[in-house]
Amino acid sequence: MRLGFLVLALISFCAQAQEVEVRGRFRTDSIKIGQPFPYSLSATYPKNTTVLFPDSTYSFSPFEIDHKKFFATKTTGDTSYDSVVYFITSFEIDTIQRISLPVFVVNKADCTAVFAKTDSVFLQQMVSEVPDSVTVEQLPLKTNTAYQAVSWLLNYPLLLIIGGVIIVIIIVTWIVFGKRIKQYFILKRLNKGYILFKQEFESAIHELENSYSTQRAETTLSMWKQYMEQLLSRPYTKYTTKEIFQMVKNEKLAGALKQIDRTIYSGSQTLESAPLYDLKEYTEQKFHDKVQEVKNG
């Protein structure tokens, strides 16, 4: 009895499967590696029969499924029609590639797979010949020496980082070496000013020795006062000889200034060089004192 029941069930399943017509075909003649292409699968079956189409979990080997598109069931009389378009991709290099997909007829106990006829598609070969091995030197290369314009992009984050680092370096440098840097420029200015004064003052003395005039003597004395005012930051140009003596209290300097004043205001036609060289010697001493003051400050 049980054997007879199984035979009858098998005959029933086969008869039901024969009533389901499955068609599958590629909707293109040729494909390219990695590019999706359509495969159409359709089924005609009795309207009271339940059929299932493969989903994304089904193995589409040698292809891979990218996505699919379902169409609504159409029923005419006792016959229904379903169709699905699968968009699949190939990464194989075989020239001709084949596939046959099924639909599944749902029975009370299980499902019966009904396959479409196998269809094939042609792979477009992008490389005419693939060697077994090839060295870099043997690779065919194309040379293009034409200039290709590339837009320039400013890396603002990097620019801000570099700017910040530079600012920090400047601040740290000034904190550590600021005093020395300041001293350097002050000493440089002092030396430059003294050398210029010394050259001009010695030249004025020689001119007075060769050709004395009251105006030239006054100009030479004014030159000395202006430099001393600049060197010591005191108003020498506004002081009289007496006021200068009260300020510096140097007998040799006071004697030199008095002798120069006496020559200028007495209308004398000559001026001894000694008091002028005394001014020069005093200025040189004050210059060295100022340099030591800056270095020790």
Residues 233-257 pLDDT 10s: 888 888 888 888 888 888 888 888 8
Q: Specify whether 196 is located in the same domain as 269.
A: yes
Q: Specify whether 99 is located in the same domain as 199.
A: no
Q: What is the pLDDT of residue 2?
A: 45
Low-confidence ranges of the chain (pLDDT < 50): 1-13, 15
Q: Specify whether 189 is located in the same domain as 255.
A: yes
**End position of a domain, from candidates 123, 141, 156:** 123
| Length of the chain in terms of residues written | 297
Q: Specify whether 274 is located in the same domain as 182.
A: yes
Residue 132 inside a domain? The answer is no
Q: What is the b/e burial string over 199-224, where b = at least 16 CB atoms within 10 angstroms of the residue's CB?
A: eebeebbeebeeeeeeeebeebbeeb
Residue 62 inside a domain? The answer is yes
Q: Give residue 47's Cα distance to chain centre.
A: 67
Strand partners of residue 96: 122
Q: Specify whether 116 is located in the same domain as 203.
A: no
> What are the residue ranges of helices labelled H in the chain?
2-18, 156-210, 214-232, 241-248, 251-266, 274-296
**End position of a domain, from candidates 104, 123, 142:** 123
Q: What is the pLDDT of residue 242?
A: 84
Q: Specify whether 292 is located in the same domain as 185.
A: yes
Residues 6+ apart with CB under 8 A from 233: none
Q: What is the pLDDT of residue 8?
A: 39
Q: Specify whether 99 is located in the same domain as 184.
A: no
Residue 193 inside a domain? The answer is yes
Residue 4 inside a domain? The answer is no
Residue 134 inside a domain? The answer is no
Q: Specify whether 182 is located in the same domain as 119.
A: no
| DSSP one-letter code for 117 | P
Strand partners of residue 275: none
Q: What is the pLDDT of residue 4?
A: 42
DSSP 163-184: HHHHHHHHHHHHHHHHHHHHHH
Q: Specify whether 191 is located in the same domain as 254.
A: yes
Residue 155 inside a domain? The answer is no
Q: What is the pLDDT of residue 1?
A: 43
Q: pTM score, two decimals?
A: 0.45
Token duo for residue 14: 């086969």
User: Whose CA is closest to 279, among 292, 297, 261?
Assistant: 261
Q: What is the pLDDT of residue 283?
A: 92
Residue 170 inside a domain? The answer is no
Residue 237 inside a domain? The answer is yes
Q: Specify whether 79 is located in the same domain as 183.
A: no
Q: How many Cβ atoms sit within 10 Å of the Cβ of residue 100?
A: 12
Q: How many domains does the chain have?
A: 2
Structural domain for 99, as ranges:
17-123
User: Whose CA is closest to 53, among 13, 82, 20?
Assistant: 82
The domain that holds 46 is classified in CATH as 2.60.40
Strand partners of residue 76: 79
Q: Specify whether 191 is located in the same domain as 286.
A: yes
Residues 112-163: tens digit of each pLDDT: 899 999 999 998 877 655 555 556 566 666 666 777 777 777 888 888 999 9
Q: Specify whether 91 is located in the same domain as 187.
A: no
Q: Are 38 and 119 in contact (CB under 8 A)?
A: no
